[in-house]
Structure 1
Amino acid sequence: MKIAIGSDDKGFELKTELKGLIESLGHEVLDETPENDLNFVESAKRVAEAIRDNKADRGIVIDEYGVGSFMVANKYKGIICANVCNEHSAQMTRRHNKSTIVTIGSGIVGKTLAKKICKVFINQKYDGGRHQIRVDMLNKMC
């Protein structure tokens, strides 16, 4: 699986940690923000466009709180993004919402928890079934 990842200046250090983890799990990493001085709008935009354009299967964006990147990514047609701060929310947004991007706040979530969130999000499958009705509703909104 190919994972697009990006960060603003506040999330750059955590992004570097997560890249190593993702590669160690056997996935390809598409670093959309090799620069360490971007703002969250630009970094989330790059990851959302990579998912939208089918350059990657899933995306992870890190900024200080996760909320700004979350708002940017959800502006894109076909993107369902969730701001997560624990493993359960990462699991459920993938299972029930078919989220293709998660955002993480580096000022809220430490490295150990962020790694757990990444593993869960990458490995979790979408449940489909009754949840597809809501996914279709979300996708019609854009």
Structure 2
Amino acid sequence: MKIAIGTDHAGFEYKEKIKAFLTAQGHEVKDFGTFSDAACDYPDFVFPAANAVASGDYDRGIVLGGSGNGEAIAANKIKGIRCTVCWNPLSAEMARRHNDSNVLSLGQRMIEESDVTGIVQTWLDTPFEGGRHQQRIVKLEA
């Protein structure tokens, strides 16, 4: 799978961990930055990652920050993006199963480091259910 990833300084540590995790599994990962923990603005890195997914160049995206909320807001400004903030495997499963989430937003200050790759793996592995949920996706896209 081709995955775009981007973060601000507050998610830098987890971004590096997730990038290594995904690469080890054979995924193609494009890192849109940031490339250090120096203070910066999340839209500068979230918009390019989300645009890469919206354009179809990447299958999915992962964005990070302190809480994940601002990053999700930014990503969802882009047509075709369904970015969900997830904090545990169940929230990640439901984001995919019911919402066909194509961008995952994670808050480094909200999630234990030991839990982050499990959340990512669940989100990657869970298919969209379709059915009654498809009509909602159509409404979001309209």
Query: TM-score normalised to the size of structure 2?
Result: 0.94
**Counterpart for residue 28 of structure 2:** 28
Alpha-carbon displacement from aligned partner over 1:66-117 (angstroms, at most 9, x marks no partner):
0000100111111111011111011111111111001000011122211111
SS at match of 2:9: coil
Separation in 2 of the partners of 1:78 and 1:41? Answer: 17
**Counterpart for residue 63 of structure 2:** 61
Using the TM superposition, give the Cα deviation of residue 34 of structure 1 relative to its aligned residue in structure 2, in angstroms. 4.7
Using the TM superposition, give the Cα deviation of residue 132 of structure 1 relative to its aligned residue in structure 2, in angstroms. 0.3
**Counterpart for residue 7 of structure 1:** 7
Moved over 6 A (4+): none
SS at match of 1:11: helix
Separation in 1 of the partners of 2:34 and 2:70? Answer: 19
Aligned residue-pair number: 140
1:116 aligns with 2:121: no
1:17 and 1:111 in contact (8 A); partners too: no
For 1:45, which of 44, 47, 69 is the aligned residue? 47
**Counterpart for residue 92 of structure 2:** 90
Separation in 2 of the partners of 1:111 and 1:55? Answer: 29
Separation in 2 of the partners of 1:112 and 1:118? Answer: 12
**Counterpart for residue 70 of structure 1:** 72
Q: CA RMSD in A?
A: 1.1
Structure 1: unaligned runs, 5 residues or longer: none
* One-letter amino acid of the counterpart of residue 110, structure 2: I
2:64 and 2:105 in contact (8 A); partners too: yes
Using the TM superposition, give the Cα deviation of residue 139 of structure 1 relative to its aligned residue in structure 2, in angstroms. 1.1
Structure 2: unaligned runs, 5 residues or longer: none
Using the TM superposition, give the Cα deviation of residue 25 of structure 1 relative to its aligned residue in structure 2, in angstroms. 1.7
**Counterpart for residue 17 of structure 2:** 17
Query: TM-score normalised to the size of structure 1?
Result: 0.94
Which piece of structure 1 moves more, 41-50 or 74-83? 41-50
Identity %: 36
